[in-house]
Amino acid sequence: MCRNIKTLHNFEPPATAEEIHASSLQFVRKLSGSTRPSKANQEAFDRAVEKVTEAARELIHSLVTTAPPRNRDVEAAKARERSATRFAAT
């Protein structure tokens, strides 16, 4: 599950609220061991996602760097290249 969590800091354009929420959801799913909580646990699960989203948003907006922002398209192309190399038929 967690391999879907992407780095969100220092990108141009900046991370959206939806991206931060999606990463938080994946994190809570990993911690809880459940992709879909039971009805009895739904409220606690949703509350945890909200709190993690809030903390992640605060963290991302508070981080400071001197590095130039990374380009999402360039980073995606690099990831595809690494994946193609890693999973190439031998």
Q: Name the band, by pLDDT with cuts 50, 70 and 90, for residue 1.
A: very low
Q: Name the band, by pLDDT with cuts 50, 70 and 90, for residue 3.
A: low
**Burial environment of residue 15 by CB neighbours within 10 A (0 to 12, 13 to 18, 19 or more):** buried
pTM of the model: 0.80
Question: How high is the pLDDT of residue 60?
Answer: 95
pLDDT of 13 higher than 50: yes
As a whole-number percent, the residues of the chain with pLDDT over 70 amount to 93
Q: Report which of 58, 54, 1, 5 is spatially closest to residue 29, judged by C-alpha positions.
A: 1
Q: Name the band, by pLDDT with cuts 50, 70 and 90, for residue 2.
A: low
